Structure 1
Amino acid sequence: MSEEILINVTPVETRVAVVENGVLQEVYIERSRSRGIVGNIYQGKVVRVLPGMQAAFVDIGLERTSFIHASDIACLDSEGAEHADIRTKIREGQLLTVQVTKDPMGTKGARLTTRLSVSSRYLVYMPGAAHIGVSHRIDDEEERQRLRDVLEVTVREEDEDLCDGYILRTAAEGVGEDELRADVKFLKRLWAAVERRMKRDTAPSVIYEDLPLFMRTMRDLVRPGLEKIRIDSRESFQRVGQFAEDYLPEIASQLEYYPGERPIFDLYGVEDEIQKALGRKVELKSGGYLIIDQTEAMSTIDINTGAFVGHRNLEETIFKTNLEAAAALARQLRLRNLGGIIIIDFIDMKDPEHRRQVLRALERAMEKDYAKTSITGVSELGLVEMTRKRTRESLEHVLCETCHYCHGRGSLKSPETVCYEVFREILRESRAYESKRLLVLASQEVVDSLLDEESANVADLEEFIGASIRFQVEAVYTQEQFDVVLL
């Protein structure tokens, strides 16, 4: 499998595309006016404690107050304190050092924790955790144990009692003692700087900010099998080159500056794929298709055979469509960054073996996903429930806003429906006020319908109310807007 990372940098926006075998798999977008804040550490102030929810609101200097649950507040003073009532942990007005685990989404504020951590290329450092963990993505048991042993020896050179915790990241697979020792020292220096700011700064304030997106890409997305990292900004290329020289010398040869006149995302077809990812319908090669709907509570994916009629029988057609859909929807979840609860409506399969194979195909396809996922079995109705960890906004929420015309419904009242609303409004106006002439202001579509399909009904209405009705097109009106004016 060949993998490339494309980085498009402008003064207002940075975009990163992960392309596998020529197909776009993931997109990350960061805008200078609204940078993501996951990983940032803040000095905050508790503004409200909610005992009924076992949660609290914390002011960290953002537009909306942030949210912390009792389970995310570390209490190390007594056994069982982790599950204690939130009122025994914090109080209103208290200063609290917190880290963001989820960006603000929609109307919800950021999600916080007091279990602080900072990351390097190979490690996540967790002060006070006294634990060494290994990424579940490293599945070779011998390698997991080797890494654990090497890190423990390295850490105990500076911290004999192992008071702090570390997690070995996926990128640590195959690295040696020298690389891990360098990362440990870097994290210790970084944390010392964070502690100095924690003692000095008042609330609300930023204590520590994570790296910008193009630098985080080097730290988080570079993995074995990566062929090229192409960057279209000379300044960013130089900064990334320096970062690689200091921390990732083995990937220096894979960095490439792209100076072409044609935009890098156009050259690789990324722009077209992003536009497709904003639509509801995803075409399958067989002729089937997916319908993806995103709501605040969950996302749903419906699979249909469409134009695919198969070659043998109906059950075989359904099975092949579901298999193709399993691979396609796994890619769409990564590309659109859909998180939370996801309901997948596979086409009903009678054969239990077919259901098992489709579920296995979905699980295999999701193994490439770096977000944590959990999948249930296929129900008798063909439904699969799954969850995918959500830490940032979906692609749709980053790039789009609610439609001003339909207010998020995804549909408009038909011209016929609006015509009948106009008739009812005319009747209300004529009963309340005496007038021989009325003027209806409406959109072009509605006026056309009133003068054409509904002309006979308009004539009957004029006779019934004893007044003439005129129509005027208002170009700025939406299809659902209208006014009835007495003349």
Structure 2
Amino acid sequence: MNQLVINLQEKRVNGAILSDGILQEFFTEENEFLSGNIYVGRIEKIITGLNAAFVDIGESKNAFLKLSDLSRQYLKQILGTEALKEGMKVLVQVKHDAIGSKGPQVTGKISLAGRFLVYFPLSRAKGVSKKVFDQKERERLKKLTKNLAKNEGIVVRTAAEFVPEEIIVEEFEELKREWAEILKDFKRARKSKLLRSEPTVADYIIRERLNKQIDEIYVNDELIYEKVKEACKGIPKKPLVNLIKEDLFDKLGIYNQLGQMQERTVDLPSGGYIALDSTEALTVFDVNSASFVAEKSHAELAYKINVEAAHEIARQLRLRNIGGIIIIDFIDMPSKDYYDRLMKELQNVVKGDSAHIELVGFTKLGLFEMTRKRKSPSIDQIMFTSCPVCKGTGKVISPLVIVKRVVNELSKIEDINQYSTVKVSLHQRLSGYVDKIKQSLSESIVKKVSFSFDSPNPGDFNLILSKKTS
């Protein structure tokens, strides 16, 4: 059973999708995303070598615009010229949020997303979601797109499957009216500013995740409850909607599952586990069998753990919103047949992911390569920050190195008797190394030095010297 949860707590909305009680996706209002927002911008600088420009959109960082994203129709209809100049006013939409030191990426390929349609006012492209598998329904929706949009682009979303035509037409007309208002505001604007923002987290969840896969919905706010009930009228399969006025994340055990997202390793049902490490553009999953030896043959054992890992990795990608290049080091298997079966399993488990995924396949080294496209920062970037001690490396200096440094610093003191106190402040983890430090020092220094274990940094120490007063 798939459950959609929208939880209002302390005036902030968080959302989650559960499958049989297991957390699959998480949505948060902790950070504001720019992705999808439409702005009036100013071209600050054109970089000819990159065929790109930096655009001031009124946010903290300038946005990056590929000039190839400005079609002839855009230049003619929006700018009225093909000669781009610095200082020129442009209409842009955020394609990717700022990540790390990079500013947001914007585009002139404007799109307005509704629940059932995506409207492209500056394009003529038409299509139906690949996830609509019923051929008769695909034909109905294709015919509808031709009748609706003559000189504009329109893509029918998966949520439109079996939805009555009049509801889809109504949304299309609404998106057209919205575009007319955006154009009017753009022409009047004199400075960089936001013209259209993406909906609130609650509205986004209803628009993007309320579909035929959802069996039950939990909300704890009456206003959101009414929005959900209204949205359910437009879908063929009506989920059960529950209004429970308490902290739903606590009631359904979601907080506990979110806490597990701090862990680098994730256990598998059979006893194996996966370990993951991420950089800004690359995430690596390492699959391990641990102590699991239940199967009779090594091949079946490896295949079973790999299948479990494939399911868990697909879940972790959605849950943590991991994007970019993804490398998976599965357990080695003896024949191509096993790898082919595993590839099919991977194709199945990523079908439910709303992000675009490309499965590249196994490399010559036996590593599986894939990509996942995301428009916003990962949950790790939103919920966690780098450790102020290790600076995000996950490493601190070895205790033995600290011992050597302490000995060196104490040995440099020319006349230790000039000080009334000589104190070394260490981290608690170094308490067992005091004898080793004393053994490396002269007796005169050892008699004078005292040690405390109140330093907050396990990779450093403080030497405190107090001179005698005359």
TM-score using structure 1 length: 0.88
- Distance verdict in 2 for CA 1:294–1:128, change over 3 Å: same
Residue by residue over 1:133-159, the C-alpha shift from the partner in whole angstroms, topping out at 9 and shown as x without a partner, is 11122233432222111232234xxxx
Aligned to 1:158: none
Q: The residue matched to 2:255 in structure 1 has which SS?
A: helix
Cα separation, 1, equivalents of 2:303 and 2:365: 14
Which runs of structure 2 are paired with 1:254-333 in the superposition (5 Å)? Answer: 254-260=240-246, 263-333=247-317
CA distance change for structure 1 residues 101 and 256 in 2, over 3 Å: closer, same or farther?
same
Between the aligned partners of 2:363 and 2:122, the Cα distance in structure 1 is: 44
2:12 alignment counterpart:
13
Closer, same or farther in 2 for the Cα pair 1:354/1:252, shift >3 Å?
A: closer
Shift of 1:441: 3.1
| Mapping for residues 155-170 of structure 1, pairs under 5 Å | 155=149, 162-170=150-158
Amino acid at match of 1:102: H
Amino acid at match of 2:110: L
8 A Cα contact 1:310 1:316, kept in partner: no
Name the residue aligned to 1:60.
57
Name the structure 2 match of 1:192.
180
> Pairwise mapping of residues 124-273 of structure 1 onto structure 2 (< 5 A)?
124-155=118-149, 162-242=150-230, 248=234, 254-260=240-246, 263-273=247-257
Separation of aligned partners in 1, 2:199 and 2:260: 30
Please tell me the root mean square deviation across aligned C-alpha atoms, in Å.
2.5
Say if 1:450 and 1:458, in contact at 8 Å, map to a contact too: no
Counterpart among 71, 91, 104 of residue 74 in structure 1: 71
Give the direction of change, closer, same or farther, for the CA distance of 1:225–1:240 in structure 2 (3 Å limit).
closer
Query: Following TM superposition, by how much is the alpha carbon of 1:308 offset from its aligned partner in structure 2, in angstroms?
Result: 0.4
2:79 aligned residue = none
How many residues align? The count is: 460
Deviations 1:182-205 (A, max 9, x none): 112111111111112111223211
- Paired residue for 1:346? 330
CA spacing shift, 1:446–1:370, aligned 2, 3 Å: closer
For the residue of structure 1 that corresponds to 2:259, the secondary structure is helix
- The match for 2:371 among 362, 387, 394 is 387
**Greater Cα shift, 382-391 or 12-21:** 12-21
**Gap regions ≥5 residues in structure 1:** 80-87, 156-161
**434, 441, 451: which is aligned to 1:458?**
441
- Which one is further off, 203-212 or 234-243? 234-243
Equivalent residues of 1:130, 1:164 under 8 A apart: yes
Deviations 1:101-148 (A, max 9, x none): 111222221111111111222111111212211112223343222211
What CA distance in whole angstroms lies between the structure 2 residues aligned with 1:226 and 1:355?
32
Kept after mapping to 1: 8 A contact 2:212/2:236: no
CA contact (8 A) 1:440 1:482 kept: no
Aligned to 2:32: 35
1:3/1:225 contact within 8 Å kept: yes
Alignment partners' CA distance in 2, 1:467 and 1:177:
87
Shift of 1:259: 1.7
Distance in 1, matches of 2:304 and 2:39, equals 51
Note closer, same or farther for the CA distance 1:385–1:131 as it changes in structure 2 (3 Å cut). Answer: same
2:438–2:446: 8 Å Cα contact kept in structure 1? Answer: no
Q: Against the structure 1 CA distance between its residues 164 and 408, is the aligned structure 2 distance closer, same or farther, given a 3 Å change threshold? A: same
Give structure 2 stretches of 5+ with no counterpart: 77-81
Instruction: Write the deviation string for residues 400-437 of structure 1: whole angstroms up to 9, x where unpaired.
Output: 1111111101122232221112223334x44xx65445
Identity, % of aligned positions: 29
2:401 aligns with 417
